[in-house]
Structure 1
Amino acid sequence: MGKQAIRVLAADFGAGSGRVVRGSYDGAKLELQEVHRFANDPVQLGADLYWDFLRLYHELKEGIAKGARSVSGIHSMAVDTWGVDFGLVDGTGRLLRNPRHYRDASNKAWMQEAVRLVSERELYRMSGVLPHQINSVFQLFGRAREHAGHLGSDTRMMFMPDLFHYYLSGVQSCEYTIASTSGLLQAGRSQWNEPLLHRLGLPETLFPEVVPSGTILGGLSGDLRKELQTGPIQVVAAGSHDTASAVAAIPATGSDHAFISCGTWSLMGMEMDKPVLNDTARDLGFTNEGTVDGRIRLLKNRSGLWLLQECKRQWEREGRSFSHEELVQLAATSTPHLCYVSLADEAFMAPGNMPERIRKQCEASRQTVPATVGAVVRCIIESLALEFRQTLEELERVTGVEPRVIHMVGGGVHNRLLCQLTANAAGIPVIAGPAEATSAGNCMVQLMAQGEFAHLGEIREVMKVSFSPQTYEPQEMAQWQEAYGTYQRLNMQT
């Protein structure tokens, strides 16, 4: 008789949508089943942009109820979200107001004021986090000044997943991987950066204890169990940052690999024992964030499938509807290496008529202008593969390590052409999968908290068995070396 399955719930909140997934582990393989999906729409109120925390908490409860229905029992649950955003809770446990959105217009001004007190270079050396106006350190600096004199000594700051965990279990904490995105921790350590807090005038009483990934916080509260009609469920601080959970699910062997977590945006990097804090890393745009085993993700935010998604929306507005699979097939049968675009160009940042913007940049750079849908998609995918090649070289430059393979996880692995062309451009194999890495990593860290695994390596062995990743070997090396030279010259011009 086989081992009775252990069931856990993973709630994964993205910046546009969320879902609750039930994971079942039988001692050999993990299986995932989505039980609830919902939208996550920010709310503009006057000049301020907020997350609708109450609506998201309602959807989380719906997911828990659905996930616990018709099964013998749920052992535990955990929440992961995007980084940097947080809420403030008073001494009675009340949320002071809805958490601000990282795109809130006030963040730029607060960053400008904060860097007058602590320079960007100092901030990078102190925290390892690349200074950007969305960072928690600047948001909190602003909130503290907006509420000067009104934040009591019993007020606590908690990041989005920690906030959900608090209202599920009653325990206030900040999990390491999500805290590591904030710019408020000491570089490479799970401790608040007290000298930085003092210089910015942030009271230490705001900050709960930083806990490691896999900490069992407590049980689902009695009131919630009664409301949702569930049995006992442990609440675990797993890999609370969604990228940390995704990287935990990489089916890697050893440490000689780079990773790409590819979706609307792509995060590309390497796992390191210590943060990389030199000026080269900062100038190239690398940031240092935590892994579930207490190490460092040295990574860079790169373009993902954003341009392709925006093109698809534009063609639908024009009355031409394509599935993602159809678009990739059209690209695969289009002439290769006609044109490339600089994906980091500001022209591509906002929503809009993306095919037209791509054609304009190609025309301005005196390349062949893509005339068909397939040619536009081919241009995007080839440019993205070349951007990954560029990032790989930058990683090698700042770390001195040459990765042997690239592990790609997330929704981008469904784009088989992107996987193959990334291998071609990089000149090393790409191992693609799992697509559901964030939910899988969340579940597996919960299972490790319950004693099913001793370390991350064991989790990754189960990932290989559970999701059968596909390997793409590099091809057409000479053509892609020439293409990379062209791409580099174009980027120097833009």
Structure 2
Amino acid sequence: MNDHIAVDIGASSGRLVHGRLEQGKLVLQELHRFANGFQRKGNHDYWDIEQLFQQILIGLRKAKQAGIDRCTLGIDTWAVDYVLLDDQGERLHDVYAYRDARTNGAPDQLHQHITREAVYSKTGIQELPFNTLYQLYVHDDKQLKEAAQILYIPDYLYYRLTGKRMNEATNASTSQMIHLATGQYDDELLELVGVRREQFAPLIEPGATLGPLQSSLQQSGELPHCECIVVPTHDTASAVVGVPAAESIPWAFISSGTWSLLGMELQQPLHDERAMALNYTNERGAYNTFRFLKNIMGMWMIQEVRRLQNNEYSFAELVELAAKEQPFQSLVRCNDTRFLNPEHMIQELQDYCRERGQAVPQTAGAIARTIFDSLALTYYDYMNELEQLTGRKPEVLHIVGGGANNGLLCQLTADLIQREVKAGPTESTAIGNLVVQLIACGKLDGVTEARSLIADSFDVVSYGPRGQDKLEQVLQRWRNLEG
């Protein structure tokens, strides 16, 4: 097949992207884009999972209308959230969003029964209150016992398309329940949260073929004939495959979207005491790699600010306004849990600055500048930690995803880390999804060839480091902020 479709769904939007090889380059066409976001129902936040499935079908109808009769298809989404199925394969519950407050305090409760050190030694996964381990720990016991199957979000969407059930490995690894040594679910952790191994579907590696769409979906003739291929279903895992890195040059990455994931691709996990103390994670990547990385709050903060301003400004306009402001006037610790899901992000940012005797940002430009300056300083901190933990000094930092469009933030980052930043491609997640399909089809030999293809196919903007006036004073103010 010459046509390949990536279903790429993030926490704020989703898209179906068509890709094909033309004259030695990968050419993309967006077929369908749609909004996503969790919704408050009663006292909890939920995803509209059925709407996401319907949007996939809408995108496939558009593909058929565009003349795509046969294609491969892969799905990636965010991680950690899950769906429980009953004996008939029907969904048991509304799907909780990971930012829901039900897991507040869950880590402390669970670790009364097993130490944090023991869990990290087993899994190598950083402690985040919304990891699947903690979500299942607070899930209704009766409903958990009723569940015949536990699928993660992209697994469920594959299931709805193909009728096949599986847990894809890169996504499952983020659950904090997969043992590093065995690559399988850890029985002790499953027992602690009240689930059984047989409730999970078989673990599948990227590159496997699931087969065609269910016949019930094909009867109308409105959809293309899709051969579904398992890609790295965790969007960050696909994004890292989509980094146009030269293997001969040491590199690090930031996958910049709702979250900023900063890390390196390693061949072996790194889960010693220092890595645990600094809360770094070892998520499985495609093709027997590990993504050793740190979660950073990312563009979520500016997304919320924009929403609260009734989308008066585009993201590009917010960057332009921020660039006109004086740098480093107000700073916030982006990974403070108060910014995870506040009632009012702008108020939370302002309160943080006020509490620490800083200038309180009022205008859209000043608020955006506070976020971008603080993110760049956060990247600076974690790049230093990453080097110390791995003993490696990357020559290049690749920023991929939507945040690569933010030239101000990319330049600030280059200035602070004092090395080259390469920004782009912005659609790295969909691209990584697509090249895994191409590898599975035998059109590419492996990741090295895929990354070379990506570098030849898409524009990348390079930002060289510049000198920064009064940088030491800025860093001292930054260090003095409470973590």
Is the 2:99–2:340 Cα contact (8 Å) retained in structure 1?
no
Deviates more, 1:391-400 or 1:429-438: 391-400
The residue number in structure 1 matching 2:277 is: 283
1:60 alignment partner, SS class: helix
Structure 2: state its 5+ residue gaps: none
The residue number in structure 2 matching 1:164 is: 157
For residues 348 and 231 of structure 1, the distance between their equivalents in structure 2, rounded to whole angstroms, comes to 42
Distance of aligned partners of 1:341 and 1:195 in 2 relative to their CA distance in 1, 3 Å threshold? closer
For residues 184 and 144 of structure 1, the distance between their equivalents in structure 2, rounded to whole angstroms, comes to 19
What is the aligned counterpart of 1:203 among 170, 183, 196? 196
- 1:162-216: CA deviation from partner (whole Å, max 9, x where unpaired): 1111121122111111111111211265322234334554222112211111111
TM-score normalized with structure 1 length: 0.89
- 1:431-474: CA deviation from partner (whole Å, max 9, x where unpaired): 10011111111111111111111211111111111112111110
Using the TM superposition, give the Cα deviation of residue 347 of structure 1 relative to its aligned residue in structure 2, in angstroms: 4.8
Is the 1:144–1:202 Cα contact (8 Å) retained in structure 2?
no
Is the 2:297–2:340 Cα contact (8 Å) retained in structure 1?
no
Is the 2:63–2:223 Cα contact (8 Å) retained in structure 1?
no
- 1:301 matched to 2:334? The reply is no
For residues 226 and 391 of structure 1, the distance between their equivalents in structure 2, rounded to whole angstroms, comes to 52
- 1:150-172: CA deviation from partner (whole Å, max 9, x where unpaired): 34xxx221111111111211221
Distance of aligned partners of 1:90 and 1:378 in 2 relative to their CA distance in 1, 3 Å threshold? closer
What amino acid maps onto 2:6 in structure 1?
A
Deviates more, 1:214-223 or 1:71-80: 71-80
The residue number in structure 1 matching 2:417 is: 426
1:87 alignment partner, SS class: strand
Aligned ranges 1:384-399 → 2 under 5 Å = 384-399=375-390
Deviates more, 1:257-266 or 1:299-308: 299-308
Is the 1:188–1:275 Cα contact (8 Å) retained in structure 2?
no
- 1:120-171: CA deviation from partner (whole Å, max 9, x where unpaired): 22111111112333111233344472336534xxx22111111111121122
Using the TM superposition, give the Cα deviation of residue 430 of structure 1 relative to its aligned residue in structure 2, in angstroms: 0.4
Is the 1:128–1:188 Cα contact (8 Å) retained in structure 2?
no
- CA RMSD of superposed structures (Å): 2.6
Distance of aligned partners of 1:45 and 1:264 in 2 relative to their CA distance in 1, 3 Å threshold? closer
What amino acid maps onto 1:281 in structure 2?
A
TM-score normalized with structure 2 length: 0.91
- 1:79-116: CA deviation from partner (whole Å, max 9, x where unpaired): 11110111122343322333332234433465454333
For residues 391 and 6 of structure 2, the distance between their equivalents in structure 1, rounded to whole angstroms, comes to 36
The residue number in structure 2 matching 1:131 is: 127
What amino acid maps onto 1:404 in structure 2?
E
What is the aligned counterpart of 2:57 among 56, 61, 65? 61
Aligned residue pairs total: 482
What amino acid maps onto 1:147 in structure 2?
Q
- In the TM superposition, structure 1's runs of 4+ consecutive aligned residues that sit over 6 Å from their partners are none
Deviates more, 1:28-37 or 1:433-442: 28-37
Is the 1:427–1:477 Cα contact (8 Å) retained in structure 2?
no
Structure 1: state its 5+ residue gaps: none
For residues 11 and 147 of structure 1, the distance between their equivalents in structure 2, rounded to whole angstroms, comes to 30
For residues 359 and 114 of structure 1, the distance between their equivalents in structure 2, rounded to whole angstroms, comes to 34
Using the TM superposition, give the Cα deviation of residue 426 of structure 1 relative to its aligned residue in structure 2, in angstroms: 0.7
- 1:16 matched to 2:12? The reply is yes
The residue number in structure 2 matching 1:409 is: 400
Distance of aligned partners of 1:481 and 1:296 in 2 relative to their CA distance in 1, 3 Å threshold? farther
- 1:252 matched to 2:245? The reply is yes
Distance of aligned partners of 1:335 and 1:143 in 2 relative to their CA distance in 1, 3 Å threshold? closer
Identity rate, percent = 34
Aligned ranges 1:337-416 → 2 under 5 Å = 337-351=328-342, 354=345, 357-368=348-359, 370=361, 373-416=364-407
1:102 alignment partner, SS class: coil
Using the TM superposition, give the Cα deviation of residue 264 of structure 1 relative to its aligned residue in structure 2, in angstroms: 2.8
Distance of aligned partners of 1:120 and 1:227 in 2 relative to their CA distance in 1, 3 Å threshold? farther
Aligned ranges 1:80-479 → 2 under 5 Å = 80-108=76-104, 111-143=107-139, 145-147=141-143, 149-151=145-147, 155-187=148-180, 190-254=183-247, 256-316=250-310, 321-351=312-342, 354=345, 357-368=348-359, 370=361, 373-477=364-468, 479=470
2:55 alignment partner, SS class: helix
Using the TM superposition, give the Cα deviation of residue 411 of structure 1 relative to its aligned residue in structure 2, in angstroms: 0.9
- 1:241-290: CA deviation from partner (whole Å, max 9, x where unpaired): 01111111000112621111112321111111122212222221211111
What amino acid maps onto 1:459 in structure 2?
A
1:123 alignment partner, SS class: helix
- 1:4-27: CA deviation from partner (whole Å, max 9, x where unpaired): x82111111222332222122225
Deviates more, 1:239-248 or 1:299-308: 299-308
For residues 389 and 395 of structure 1, the distance between their equivalents in structure 2, rounded to whole angstroms, comes to 10
For residues 229 and 155 of structure 2, the distance between their equivalents in structure 1, rounded to whole angstroms, comes to 10
For residues 452 and 253 of structure 2, the distance between their equivalents in structure 1, rounded to whole angstroms, comes to 16
For residues 403 and 39 of structure 2, the distance between their equivalents in structure 1, rounded to whole angstroms, comes to 28
For residues 43 and 341 of structure 2, the distance between their equivalents in structure 1, rounded to whole angstroms, comes to 19
Distance of aligned partners of 1:232 and 1:348 in 2 relative to their CA distance in 1, 3 Å threshold? closer
Using the TM superposition, give the Cα deviation of residue 301 of structure 1 relative to its aligned residue in structure 2, in angstroms: 1.2
